[in-house]
Chain A
Amino acid sequence: SQTIHQWPATLVQPVGSPLSLECTVEGTSNPNLYWYRQAAGRGLQLLFYSVGIGQISSEVPQNLSASRPQDRQFILSSKKLLLSDSGFYLCAWSSPGAVGFAFFGQGTRLTVV
């Protein structure tokens, strides 16, 4: 069966520090991978998606970046965090032919102080 792992679960980082969140998927090949952010009082906002290794599409201009170094690994990064980067970050995957049927990781609660 397929599983998705996302870590860490919670993170408190000072403004200006770097960020690296990692997500891995098991039990499937060539998944679509997604990074979403959910800020308080707002809906899930798609940040990045990837349909293959090295292929990253960005939906929202920001100081975040994403990389997909391996087929089932998706990384969200920042060189310098802003206060506005605080939120609940969710990684998700779907089969290429079943985009809407996304499976989410457990999320990372990021607080920038």
Chain B
Amino acid sequence: GQNIDQPTEMTATEGAIVQINCTYQTSGFNGLFWYQQHAGEAPTFLSYNVLDGLEEKGRFSSFLSRSKGYSYLLLKELQMKDSASYLCAVRGDSGAGSYQLTFGKGTKLSVIP
């Protein structure tokens, strides 16, 4: 089975840096994904890690450690528009799991002035 944990809520200040953690226990692993979801809207893809290390994409970076079952999403130079939920998702590596993503419950980030 799949189990994905991330903090429920976080608050950070505009212009600051925030790190959102995600830990997972899965029966197979073929990639970890981060999505952003503004309230009442659909999730949109942010980043993807399949190998250990850091992937940087503008103000957003994502890190993965497969041995630790751990990832984080790093947001720099926070803007008010970054207030949203951030969803961690894992893809399985075989059978039915390879066709789907399993999502965590999401971390609701509030950016304050």
Contacts and interface: CB of A to CB of B under 8 A. Distances in A.
Interface of A: 32, 34, 36, 41-46, 49, 51, 57, 59, 90, 99-107, 109
Contacts of B44: 104
Which are the 3 A-B pairs with shortest beta-carbon distances? A104-B42, A43-B105, A44-B103
B100 A59 contact: yes
Interface residues of B, number: 23
Contact of A43 (B48, B100, B103): B103
Which of A36, A99, A106 has the most C-beta atoms of chain B within 10 angstroms of its own C-beta? A99
A99 B101 contact: yes
B99 A49 contact: yes
Interface string B76-94: 0000000000010101000
Contacts of A101: 33, 45, 48
Interface of B: 4, 31, 33, 40-45, 48, 87, 89, 91, 96, 98-106
A57 B99 contact: yes
B99 A102 contact: no
Contacts of A46: 100-103
B87 to A, nearest CB: 7
A111 to B, nearest CB: 14
Given A101-B45, A102-B45, 4 more contacts: A57-B96, A90-B43, A101-B48, A105-B42
B43 A34 contact: no
Contact of A99 (B43, B87, B91, B104): B91
